[in-house]
Structures are given as C-alpha cells and as structure tokens.
Amino acid sequence: MTNLLKRFLPILLVTALCWLIFPINNLLLNGKLAAYGIVPRHLNGLAGIACAPFLHASYPHLLANTLPLLALGGILCARSRGEFIIVTVIGIVLGGGLTWLVGRNATHIGASGLIFCYFGYLTSLAYFHRSFGTLCLSVLCILAYGGILRGVVPTSAAVSWEGHLTGLVSGVALAWFVSKVKKTPLTPPAPGPTDKPAPPP
C-alpha cells in the first residue's frame, strides 16, 4: 500500500491542490484568485500560465475535471513518476504559453488544458513509440476519454476551447520529444590523442 501511494502521490497532490484552492478562493476570497488566470497577450496574465490549472470557477467545473485528471494523470504516474513530472510541468508551461499567445481576450482557468495535454500525450505514444504496450494504452485512453475531443471545438463562450486545443497540441509535442530522446543512443565519445595509453619507458 505504501509503494502504491508513493507511485500515485504526484497526481494526488495536484488534484488535492485544486480542491484546496477552490474553497479558499470561492468561499474566503470571493473568487479574487480567478484574476490570476491566463489573460492572453497581457503581461499581467503571464502569471496565469502557472496558476490557471489550479483555479476553477465552480464546483461543477472542478468536479468535471477531477476524474479525468486523476485517471489520465494516474496512468502517467503508473508509467513513471519522472515522466509524469516532465509532462505536467512542461505541459503547463507550453500549453499555458500557447493559450496566452492565441486565446481569446478573457480569463482562462481550469485544469482541462492539463487534462488535454495528458490525453494528447498518452494517445499519441503509439504513433511515436511503436510497441504493443503503447498501442494498447493509446486505444484504452481513446475509448475511455475520446469524447473530450469535442472540447477543442468552439461551442460555448464559457469554455476555453483554446486551452483545450493548446493542451492537446502540447501533449502530442511532448510525446514526440520524449520518443526522440528515448531513441537517441548514448554513444561514448571517440578516443582522442590524450586517450591513448602512454608508450612504455
């Protein structure tokens, strides 16, 4: 049980942080922290790149994000805690940065961009790192959460479809990058003149 908890502790902490911030923001601060979301092309909105994934507008918003965040993030943790941390940190920065560049002039908050990053990463692994295991994983994620792809279509002014789309793109880009890094062989440097053994006296 202890090893299992350690394995999934990172995603549990991320989810717990969302649930901890919500009552502080909405019950104690009257939603003032929402101002720290991503405000595209405004310098004061850059802080939202790091803050936005942990801010939610309402309980339904937080509840809708909790299960896919735990499920997809949990799959990443099961693969590797290091992989989870890399995808989470770079996904937040890259996806949030792209949202800041291309998003509508509004305040973008919520963990859905990170969820789309996890989804894009896990579902594209089969293409970039071709193995039976990654194929099964990608198919499983598509079957379970493929419906969220509707979120990249602008259907509601209240939904940050730009955050969804940039999160998805970030996840696919990360899967490509990680697969390239893993495929790069670590070859020792060729011996130089100083590497030759000294001649016997």
pLDDT in tens, the chain (201 residues): 678 888 999 999 999 999 999 999 999 999 999 999 999 999 999 999 999 999 999 999 999 999 999 999 999 999 999 999 999 999 999 999 999 999 999 999 999 999 999 999 999 999 998 889 899 999 999 999 999 999 999 988 889 999 999 999 999 999 999 988 877 654 555 555 555 555 555
Going from N- to C-terminal start, the domains of the chain cover 7-180
Secondary structure letter of residue 27 according to DSSP: I
**CATH number of 7-180: 3.60.21.10, 1.20.1540.10, 1.50.10.10, 1.20.120.530?**
1.20.1540.10
Measured between alpha carbons, how far is residue 181 from residues 28, 129, 161, 184 in Å? 45, 11, 30, 5
Q: Partners of 38 in the beta sheet?
A: 108
